[in-house]
Amino acid sequence: MTPSQILISNALYFCKKNKIRVRDLEEEIGYSRGYLATAMREERSISLDVAVRISNKFGISISEMVSSDIQKQDRIMKLERELAKLKESR
């Protein structure tokens, strides 16, 4: 995945996690409806301004937003916590 795709994937994850509609995020960061979907299909690249606005919205560093699959990291951390609980209960 490209950094733009990772950023959009993370933005979609945070929208879902925080129960925010994507079109509301687009409006809040000052972009038209469908902007993120178009960028995801790589018909348009994400500008640094958009990346910064999305990162600021969710309180995540720009470097993490464009380089890490945050949803995957969250799932791994959740599984690790569940595993630790299972070990404790034995």
CATH number of the domain that residue 64 is part of: 1.10.260.40
pLDDT digits (tens, 9 = 90+) for 9-30: 899 999 999 999 999 999 999 9
DSSP annotation of 2 reads: -
pLDDT of 37 reads 78
pLDDT of 17 reads 93
Distances (CA, A) of 62 to 28, 75, 78: 18, 21, 23
**Number of separate domains in the chain:** 1
Can you tell me which residue has the tokens 């509301």? 24
How many CA atoms within 13 Å lie on the side-chain side of 33?
3
Q: Which domain holds residue 76?
A: 3-88
pLDDT digits (tens, 9 = 90+) for 28-66: 999 888 888 788 777 677 888 999 999 999 999 999 998
Q: Name the pTM for this structure.
A: 0.78
Can you tell me which residue has the tokens 């560093």? 61
